[in-house]
Structure 1
Amino acid sequence: MNRKTLVLPAVVGLLAPLLAACGTQQGGAAGGNAIVVGTTDQFTATEDAPAPFDPAYAYDTGIWNVLRQTVQTLVRVPRGGGRPVPDAASECQFTDRVSESYRCTLRDGLTFSDGTPVTAQDVKFSIERVLAIKSDNGAAGLLSNIDTIEVKGYREIVFHLKTPDATFPYKLATPVAGIVSSDKYEADKLREGFQVDGSGPYTMKANVSDGHVTSVVFTKNGRYKGGVKLRNDQVELRSFADAGAMAGALDAGDIDLMTRTMEPEQIRELHARPKEGIKLTEMPGLEIRYLAFNTRHPSVKDKAVRQAMASVIDRSKIAGDVYGSTATPLYSLIPSSIATHTNSFFDKYGEPSRKKAAAILDDAGIDTPVKLTLHYTTDHYGSATAKEFAALRDQLNASGLFDVTVKGSEWSTFRPAQKRGEYAVYGLGWFPDFPDPDNFTAPFLDADNFLNTPYVSEEARTRLIPASRREADRTSAAPAFEKLQRIVAEDVPVLPLWQGKQYVASRDTLTGVEWALNTSSDLQLWELGRGTA
């Protein structure tokens, strides 16, 4: 989720890395051991989320990065971005001119990792299972436009959609559409625990301690048939409590690469004082951060309160002071590097202004200071989140218009409480499911949305989102997306703050690093190898 101030939108395809690494050896086995990747993502089973790795429940970048290695989808987004290409399927295409009927044919001889054949009926079972369970985590919303699923023989499957949707192939490329077996997954119940079975590039084994996953070992699936070429035989994804511990493991040679989430200070330090044997790689990214509102809560029910916050918050100062060169201010839900982006919030509110915010509140008859608590997660996006929310608190309180406190919670507590509507104002990040403006608008505004928000814009849901999806040429959808961005700036159900860049640090003997993360922050562990770049 990226944001820049008053810049022209760039074509997403231009974000792809230009050069691939060439290794003298291929595969972790060539070095005699697994490639080890560090992450600060935490994987925990709780009473609220007992099945974190089930494709019918999972809707989190870190967990999706486990599923992408193990659960195969009909199509996948290629390494450098662009339109989805076949993976479990040998071919997929719309069979009509209005993008309402999508047909796929499975690869011949496709099997799950245990050797059981994968059939079109398994695909139907997997998708219908997601829709039947309809977890409150929000992922099922990606598939909610499916009307019926038709199976023809063992290999052919046809999706009939309720309304035209040119983005449907991208949705089929996400883990929520992962193919699972009815032998391992129940049709109407989530699979609790940490085991994942599929037909993807790797099999997996989770190492668990006290209910937390300490690491996941991915081993090459010899039965995999798909479009991915594996450059290693085994990768271990190791979870660390914080970025400092992860950096220490890289320095000690215990891991080969550290990814989500490096701290801004670490990135600045590696830029200024490179370490021998370690390289820092910057990658294009589409991460955004934002405040969201429970628009039924009395403290923010009047949109004038939300508009006043949009008027007074200084995004540039937050991005610069807290995140430095790793973030830029964002004035729309759609990042500046996605075509159809507009600076809708800047257009409406301009530069930060206490005077303008005060006038908005006064005109609405709202007494000041408005008392609010801003909630954030302490362990999901890195320790800089606490600094960011302290800065937000200080800015709002300095205006004299607000009386703000902040409260942090672990993700395992924060996310269930947020979905239940317990927070009036809360901070979240968004890593897109696919790089299209639809995925920066519909998950926040459509029915069955990720936020479980009470906010409804009938114009957005019934007219603009469906209109944007009818356009196979995505640039033709620009007028609909421009209106959607204006609606968000006017009603402020969410308040965009900044967009970020992606960085990873690695041992210089590791190849394929520049392909290890795509613009949507999807881990592509199969790209990693050992050798000389």
Structure 2
Amino acid sequence: MNWFRSSRKKLQFFQFLGLFLCCCFLIISCRGSQTPTQTGNSSSPTTSNSSDRISVGSIQKPRTLDPADGYEAAISDIITSLGDRLYTYDGDTDKLKPQLATELPKVSPDGLTYTIPLRQGVTFHDGEPFNAKAMAFSLERFSKNGGKPSSLLSNLMESVTATGDYEITIKLKNAFAPFPSLLAFPGLCAVSSKAYEIGQGKFKPNEFVGTGPYKLVSFEPGLIKVDSFDNYWGEKPPNKGIDFQFLGNAASLYNSFKTGALDIAYRDLDADQVLSLQKEAQAKGYQVIEKASSRIDYLVLNVNQQPLDQVEIRQAIASMIDRPLIIERVYRGQAEPAYSIIPNSFETNKPVFKEPYGDGNVEKAKQLLTKAGFTKEKPFEFEIWYSSDSPQRQEIVTLLKEYATQKLDGLMQIKPQPVESTTLFANIPKSIYPSYLVAWFPDFGDADNYISPFFTCDKGSVETGCQEGASKSQGLSYYSEKMNQLIEAQRKEQDPKVRKEIFGQIQDLMAQDVPLVPLLQKKDVAFTQKHLKNIEINPVLGLSFWQVDKEG
């Protein structure tokens, strides 16, 4: 479960408001067509744009660089540049390939034991040699130190041992077919046992000693500097280092890129700024790189609260959602419709919400609401909770409210319920919200990470809903014995074709029961100056900075 990574832009609205009050510059309109030219606050690039280093700008600052404790989006780009995992993803795909491993694991017939051969000739940034003991230490530390992402491994791994100088054996508590994909999670990188230790809460937030293509030079407020690692075992980066710069707001990021102070602007630009740079790209020589991200925006429906306990009501909500309208009005076309909680870039994706519900299927929504007993005089009052820190969430809910008012003949009244994000995420596991709007960022590139965290229920019934388990903690309260059986089956199944069939059944059941409604899949967009080349965005890991070449 990954709520820490879902708040990349939550302060943007307040930063813009403060910017207006303090500087009195024009803030771009959410609906307007004028070019965004606002000036940022005092945050500005802290290093010069040199010819042999790459300068990357974003907004969110990493809380820590310790891979055993970092779970926010801000740390991912840094860790994937500084560290290597057993497995990674091939190019701009979600296909696994060995990194510190030399081949995919050998799996025991019962699916509980994974034997992994390791690469030789690898050195840590502090000069220590990489071997099986070092890899076992790294995985054990991640599991035992109690960091924010530790449960990803501790809930699964029984033990990890060095069964040879360059071989580890991992025993699982329960069969888990996507385990190799989990091992590509950025935090599961190898770290030096000389620099780190195992123990509850024993973290080093300002250090990083791994085996990656870059080594850490400095970690300061507003700036992380990394240099190319001369003794890297793999292909050396074509640049000498990266300056990750964290600016105060999207305005500063936008202006710094336009003035050439940044080589790359990534992730944190708002919709109007993206459109502006796209329009100027040809004339200014900007490169625009787009890739469907692995992020899914969705609407949770608590099946244990009246009247959402009626499937007809949930189906009516699914029918009235107009994804293309949301994408056009709120995201200015910088997203794709999502008809499943599994991203459309995954082979296991099945667009199960498209045929039965479509987009803006107003007549079906009215029929279902009428069947459930609602009238213009007695409408369905539908509360949607969302983070007040997110301008996009506010726009979506406002748009849905206006749409329902105009199209549904008074049968549904949407009541927006903004709440501070910390409160929202604290209350979600209590299942107190009838509905809420949020986004999901996966931990690893397998469909299980979009299914198990939402629909698994350890204790419950159809009558009581989910009382314990993932579905309860996500605020769905959804219980289905058939869903539990299908999830368990795909987690054990090693055959990809059979797993795909099972995921198809899971998605069919999701569309039938509608415990949530998938809305859209955001695009990852990066802008680079014209003198850069070899720019690639992986749908799971993001931009591959270690491949970027800078000419001149």
TM above 0.5, yes or no, is yes
Query: Matched residue of 1:495: which SS?
Result: strand
Give yes or no for the alignment of 1:266 onto 2:273.
Answer: yes
The CA deviation at 1:230 is 1.5
Query: Matched residue of 1:442: which SS?
Result: helix
Give yes or no for the alignment of 1:487 onto 2:518.
Answer: no
Whole-Å separation in 2 of the counterparts to 1:104 and 1:129: 18
Amino acid in the other structure paired with 1:35: I
Whole-Å separation in 1 of the counterparts to 2:438 and 2:71: 13
Query: Matched residue of 1:197: which SS?
Result: coil
Whole-Å separation in 2 of the counterparts to 1:295 and 1:393: 21
**Cα shift readout 1:114-169 (whole Å, capped 9, x = no counterpart):** 2234443343333334444566x566336633333232144321122344444222
Answer whether contact 1:139 1:176 (CA < 8 A) is retained: no
Query: Matched residue of 2:333: which SS?
Result: helix
Question: What is residue 529 of structure 1 aligned with on the other side?
Answer: 549
The CA deviation at 1:370 is 1.9
Amino acid in the other structure paired with 1:262: L
Closer, same or farther: CA 306–54 of 1 in aligned 2, 3 Å: farther
Answer whether contact 2:161 2:168 (CA < 8 A) is retained: yes
Query: How well do the aligned residues superpose, as a CA RMSD in angstroms?
Result: 3.5
Which residue, 343, 357, 360 being the options, matches 1:349? 357
Question: What is residue 177 of structure 1 aligned with on the other side?
Answer: 188
Answer whether contact 2:76 2:541 (CA < 8 A) is retained: no
Which residue, 246, 249, 273 being the options, matches 1:242? 249
The CA deviation at 1:505 is 1.0
Whole-Å separation in 2 of the counterparts to 1:341 and 1:485: 8
Whole-Å separation in 1 of the counterparts to 2:550 and 2:346: 34
Question: What is residue 216 of structure 1 aligned with on the other side?
Answer: 224
Amino acid in the other structure paired with 1:368: P
Give yes or no for the alignment of 1:437 onto 2:447.
Answer: yes
Amino acid in the other structure paired with 1:428: V
Question: What is residue 15 of structure 1 aligned with on the other side?
Answer: none
Whole-Å separation in 1 of the counterparts to 2:49 and 2:331: 38
Whole-Å separation in 2 of the counterparts to 1:481 and 1:527: 34
Look at both structures and tell me which one has the larger radius of gyration over its CA atoms.
Answer: 2
Query: Matched residue of 2:354: which SS?
Result: helix
Whole-Å separation in 2 of the counterparts to 1:343 and 1:85: 27
Flag structure 1 segments of 5+ consecutive residues without an equivalent. 1-27, 45-51
1:456-467 to 2 correspondence within 5 Å? 456-459=478-481, 462-467=484-489
Answer whether contact 2:56 2:266 (CA < 8 A) is retained: yes
Give yes or no for the alignment of 1:59 onto 2:71.
Answer: yes
Which residue, 93, 99, 111 being the options, matches 2:105? 93
Whole-Å separation in 1 of the counterparts to 2:180 and 2:496: 13
Query: Matched residue of 1:504: which SS?
Result: strand
1:106-505 to 2 correspondence within 5 Å? 106-132=118-144, 140-141=151-152, 144-181=155-192, 183-189=195-201, 191=203, 193-204=205-216, 207-209=219-221, 214-225=222-233, 227-274=234-281, 275-293=283-301, 305-354=313-362, 356-358=364-366, 360-361=368-369, 368-376=379-387, 378=389, 383-398=391-406, 399=408, 400=410, 401-407=412-418, 409=420, 415-416=425-426, 418=428, 423-446=433-456, 452-453=473-474, 455-459=477-481, 462-505=484-527
Which residue, 59, 64, 85 being the options, matches 1:73? 85
Question: What is residue 31 of structure 2 aligned with on the other side?
Answer: none
The CA deviation at 1:524 is 1.7
Closer, same or farther: CA 456–337 of 1 in aligned 2, 3 Å: same
Amino acid in the other structure paired with 1:506: T
**Cα shift readout 1:311-368 (whole Å, capped 9, x = no counterpart):** 3221121112222332222211123332232222233334434554455456556863
Answer whether contact 1:264 1:384 (CA < 8 A) is retained: no
Query: Matched residue of 2:105: which SS?
Result: strand
Flag structure 2 segments of 5+ consecutive residues without an equivalent. 1-46, 458-468
Closer, same or farther: CA 29–192 of 1 in aligned 2, 3 Å: closer
TM-score by length of structure 1 reads 0.79
Closer, same or farther: CA 311–236 of 1 in aligned 2, 3 Å: same
Whole-Å separation in 1 of the counterparts to 2:128 and 2:277: 48
Answer whether contact 1:56 1:133 (CA < 8 A) is retained: yes
Q: Which moved more, 1:34-43 or 1:354-363?
A: 354-363
Closer, same or farther: CA 62–302 of 1 in aligned 2, 3 Å: farther
Query: Matched residue of 1:157: which SS?
Result: strand
Question: What is residue 16 of structure 2 aligned with on the other side?
Answer: none
The CA deviation at 1:82 is 5.4
Closer, same or farther: CA 305–181 of 1 in aligned 2, 3 Å: farther
The CA deviation at 1:255 is 0.4
State the aligned residue count: 486
Question: What is residue 62 of structure 2 aligned with on the other side?
Answer: 43
The CA deviation at 1:237 is 1.4
Aligned residues: percent identity?
A: 26
Amino acid in the other structure paired with 1:125: F
Question: What is residue 18 of structure 1 aligned with on the other side?
Answer: none
Q: Which moved more, 1:194-203 or 1:244-253?
A: 194-203
Answer whether contact 2:57 2:265 (CA < 8 A) is retained: yes
Answer whether contact 1:94 1:100 (CA < 8 A) is retained: no
